[in-house]
Structure formats: C-alpha cells, structure tokens
Structure 1
Amino acid sequence: MTEFLGLLKEGNKSALMASIMNAIIAIIKAIAFFITGNVAMFAEMMHSIGDTANQSFVFIGSALSKKAPTDRFPGGFARLVNLVLLGAVLIVGILAYETVKEGIHHIIDPPESNSWFWLNIAVLGVAAILESVVLVKAMKEITADMAGEEIKGFRVVIESFKNIGDAKPATKLVFLEDMVATGGALIAILSIVIGTYTPFHEAEGYASVIIGLMLFYVVGRVFLDNAAGVLGVSDEEMEKIIGELVFAETHVKDIQEIMVIKEGEELHVELKVEFDPDMSIANAADILKNIEEKILNEKGVTEVIIESDQDDKVQSWNNPDKDT
C-alpha cells in the first residue's frame, strides 16, 4: 500500500485535476437533467461521467506505469498507461453511442420546450468555464514538456495544438476530452437557445448527436495512438535527433542501426555504431560512454543500449554533413 500511494504521487496531474473537476460537473449536470429532462443536458451529463471515469483510470495508469521493473516484468511497466487508455476509451465509446441514440430519439420525437431555460444555461455555462480551466492546464503541460519552460499568453493555445502529437499519452487524452467537453457545452447552450426561441425544437437532439460524434472522434484518436504504444511504436523524429547527435562524434564512422521505441512516456534507444578498426578498445569504450550520457540527457530517454563494430566502408546512415 505504501508503494502504491508513493506511485500515485507520480501520476499525471492534469488527469487528476480533470477527474475531480469532471466529477463535480457530472453531479451538477445530473441534477439539472433530472429536474429539466433536457436531452442536451443528458448528452453533457454522459460526457462528464465518461470523462470522470476515463481520467481517473488515466491518472492511476500513469502512476502505475512508473513502477520499477521486477523479476517477473523485467521490461518495466511503462506501457501500462497505454493499456489503461485503451480500456478507458471503451467507456467513452459506450457513452458516445448512448448520446447519439438519445439525440436521434429526440430528433424523431422532439418534446416541447420547458421552463427551465436559465437553469440549463447557467449549468452549462459553469461547466464550460470549469472545463476550459482544465483544458488550459493541459495546454500548459503540453507546452512545458515540449519547450522546457512555461509559455504565457495566447501562444500557449497555438503551441499546444502544434505539439499535441508529441504530448504524453495521458495529457493528450485530457486535452482532447476537455476540448470536446468545452466545445460540447457551448454547442448545448446554443441548441437550447434555438430550441427555446424558435420552432426548431429538434436542435437539442442534433446537438446531442454532434456531441456524441465528437466523443467518437476522441475514441478513435486515442485508440489508434495507444494501440501503437502497446505494440511499441518507433519515434522517427527522435531517431533523427539522436542520429545527428551520435554522428556529431568525430570518431563515429557510421550508424548501422538506430531504433527509438516509445514505452508509455519513456523512450528506449538501441543503436549500433561503427568505429575505425585501428581504434583501441579503451578509446572506443570511452566514446560509447560519452555517447550514452548525451543520449540520456535527451528528454524522455530512460534506457540506452549501444553496440559497436568496425567500419565496413558501407555508409548506412544518411548524413551529408558528415565528412566520411
């Protein structure tokens, strides 16, 4: 239990904050839905329940992924966060289906507008504000991870969208879910206004369908990303960065192989370099140690395995800036 509590301290902070915030929002929306029976509110309630469950699992998964390797699992637990996220998106998928189904039912048989207009607007307005707070925190976490420093102002929004593909799995899920949640709340508000003040009472049903489809987008995006993570996807951008770093070492003649594998939030590097056949073993060992230290200083890299061989005079690594 002590070890478990210690690991929880290492969990993704954005996911923890999002789960607490969404639990509060889900309760508020549930109360409003049971009072008003509004279908757009139902869609938002289901969305918040899904987000709460999802982000709770994500927080726990991201914490457990930090567990040290054991004799039974010598490869560590880094990919556990990907497995947890795969399970989490199943919950979102089920809720997305229910949301779309309820929206279609509302479109086919729309009820008359009720007298709870301002209650619905107030609840969804508060929800949109709270969701946006979590979204901004996720944006800041993404930009801080990428830039290594805190970015302020509207630039946070631009940089977070630009770097979302390279964000940590847990942070990426929080970002996507709360972006959809904030947008969904605004769509629900608009549909309630239209359904109340115009004859188009089906607007709330269409809003529910749109919110459900947005949830399906999150399901698809997160599933594909984490399925690749479970299988062990390579990081081609980091392979290029590390390749250039290694090739900058004057004694390295060539790189036969280089592989950077994403393990959850960690990067594992394997490479094979070629040296001049006349170089002594001692010199080669010193150079390899220096290369290993440089690679470990790269963000996210936790393990480096390097092999060496004699220069075979056949260029494998394509780097035109290197004088061979």
Structure 2
Amino acid sequence: MKEFFGLLKGGNKPSLLAAIVNSFIGLLKMVAYLLTGNIAMFAEMMHSFGDAANQLFVFIGSALSKKAPTSRFPNGFGRVVNLVCLGAVIIVGILSYEAIKEGIHHLFHPAETTGLAIILSVLGIGVVLELFVFYKAAKEVLHEAGVEGKGLGVFTKSVTHLKQAKPATKLVFMEDFVATSGGVLAMIAVLIAHFTSFVQAEGIASIIIGLMMFYVVGRVFLENARGAIGETDDEMRVHISRIIMKDEHVRDIKMLHVVKEGESLHVDAKIEVDQTISIAEADDIRDRLKLLIYAQKGVSDVLISFDEDNLKTDWQPL
C-alpha cells in the first residue's frame, strides 16, 4: 500500500485536478437538474461525471505506469496508462449514449423547464471552472512539448503541439475542450428555449454534447489502442538516427526501432562499425551512444547491438 501511494505522487497532475473539479461541477449540475428537470443540464451532468471518472482512472493509470520492472514483468508497466484509458472511454461512451437518448426523447416530447437563474448560474460556474482546467491542461501540453506560451497563445500553441503530449494530458485536454464548449452550448440552448417557443433547442444541445463526447471516445480509443500495441514514434526515430550517425565510429544503421509504450520510448538499434575495432572500443561506443539517447525526452530503455560494416548504406531515414 505504501508503494501504491508513493506511485500516486508521480501521477499525471492535470488528470487529478480535472477529476476533482469535474466531480464538484457534476454535483452542482445534478442538484440543478433535480430542481429544474432541464434536459441540457442532464446532458452536462452526465458529461461532468463521465469526465471525472475518466480522469480519475487516467490519473491512477499514469501513476501505475511508472512502476519499476519486476522479474514477472521485465518490460515494465508503461502500457498500463493506455489500457486504463481504453477502459475509461467505455464509461464516457455509456454516458454519451444516455445524453443522446435523453436529447432525442426531449425532441419528441418537449417540456418547458423552470429555474432559469439556477440553470445559468450552475452552467456559468461550470464553464469558468472547466476553462481553468482546460488552461492548466494546455499549459501542461506545452510543458511536455518543451514550448513556451503566454496568455491566449497557450491555447493556440497547445493545439499545434498536442501530438507531443503524454496520453493522459491529451485526454484531459480534449475532454475539457469539449466540456467547456458543451457548457457554452447548453447555456445558449437554455436561453433560446426560454425566450422563444423553440423548446426543442435543449434536446438538440443534449444530442450535440453527446456526439462531442463520442468524438473524444473515438480519438482516445484509437490513440491508446496504438499505444497499448506499441507504436513507432517516427519523429523520434529520425532524431535518434541522427544522434547515432554523428558518432565518428558509426558507419551505418542496420536497424532502428523507437517504440512508444504509454509515456515511455524504447529504443532498439543495430549499428554497423568497422570490423577491426576491439570489443573494448565497441563497448565505449555503446556507452557513449546510450548516454546521448537516454538524455532524450521520454526514453526509458536503450538496446544497442553491433554488426560489421557491409560497405553499403542500409539506413534510409524517413
């Protein structure tokens, strides 16, 4: 148990913050829904509770993924975060379905709701809090990408560098973007339904919010399915190949794999060197290259083997 709590300290902080904030928002929306019966509020309530559960699982998964390899699991636990994310999207998928189903029901059986002040107050608080978490997630995206950003530039730059963020951070970013925009959409729908005769607007908003949630489910599922299987990081593969080829004793690269597992990169390379070098010299080359490759962001495991130079170029960078 002590080890478990120790691992939690290394969990993805934006995920934990988002889980806490969304739990609070979900409770507020639940109270507002019970008082008003507003269908757009119901969709937002489901959205917030789904995000909270999802982000809590992701936080725990990101923490467990940092557990050191054991004799039973020598390859480590890097892919745990991907597996947890795959499980978490099931919850969001179910809640998305409920939001869409209730929205469709409201289209065919529209009903006026009361408590406009309560609804707008709760949705407004939710949007402000979601925007705060969204900003924190955007900042974390830039931090993980090694990019600086200030003011509104944080949002625009984070979208550009989202691919470089860790799986857990990407999930929080996408969920809170949808949550913030969904809250604004729900407020607009409530105002339309209140001041016009078009009460179906709330049902339409509920359906759109549910569909946005499904979009996040699809994106997160595909990305983490690739991570769970083990996906080549082409950008880092090219970068590491350049590091290897800069060594004066390396003649060519016979094989180079850079596989992304969870938040970690595993590097496996076979390099060609002059057949006349000694074992001690080859060992020095290995140590020198490992030191450089381990210094690269996200690299957790490096395996380097040697082959004699076949006097022709095999390595073709992407």
| Alignment TM-score, normalising by the size of structure 1 | 0.96
Counterpart Cα distance in 2 of 1:290 and 1:99 = 56
Q: Corresponding residue for 2:124?
A: 125
Deviations 1:266-310 (A, max 9, x none): 111000000112222222221121111000000000110000111
Distance 2:236 2:114 in 1: 57
- Who is 1:230 aligned against? 228
Q: Compare 163-172 and 211-220 and name the one that shifted more.
A: 163-172
Q: Is the 8 A contact 2:238 2:317 kept in 1?
A: no
1:138 corresponding residue in structure 2 = 137
- Whole-Å separation in 2 of the counterparts to 1:3 and 1:215: 35
Residue identity matched to 2:302: V
Aligned twin of 2:33? 33
Q: Name which of 153, 161, 164 aligns with 1:163.
A: 161
Say which SS state the counterpart of residue 306 (structure 1) adopts: strand
Counterpart among 277, 280, 288 of residue 279 in structure 1: 277
* TM-superposition CA deviations, 1:130-187 (whole Å, max 9, x none): 001111101001101111x653222211221011122101111100110000000000
**CA shift digits 1:205-258 (9 cap, x unpaired):** 000000000000000000000111110111011000000111111211100100
* C-alpha separation in 2, matches of 1:19 and 1:150: 26
The one-letter code sitting in structure 1 at the alignment partner of 2:190 is: I
TM-aligned CA deviation for residue 115 of structure 1: 3.0
TM-score normalised over the length of structure 2: 0.98
Instruction: Tell me if structure 1 keeps the 8 A contact 2:139–2:158.
Output: yes
Which has the larger displacement, 207-216 or 196-205? 196-205
| Identity within the alignment, % | 53
Q: Which residue of the partner structure matches residue 104 of structure 1?
A: 104
State the partner residue of 1:207: 205
Letter paired with 2:239? I
Query: Given that residues 144 and 164 in structure 2 are in contact (C-alpha distance below 8 angstroms), is that contact kept between their aligned partners in structure 1?
Result: no
Could you tell me which runs of 5 or more consecutive residues in structure 1 were left unpaired when the two chains were aligned.
none
The match for 1:186 among 184, 187, 191 is 184
Structure 2 partner of 1:75: 75
Shift of 1:44: 0.1
Show the 5 A alignment for 1:44-63. 44-63=44-63
Describe the SS at the equivalent of 1:72: coil
Letter in 2 for 1:60: I
Separation (CA, whole Å) in 2 of partners of 1:292 and 1:11: 27
Structure 2: unaligned runs, 5 residues or longer: none
- Residue 100 of structure 1 and its aligned partner are, at CA, apart by 0.4
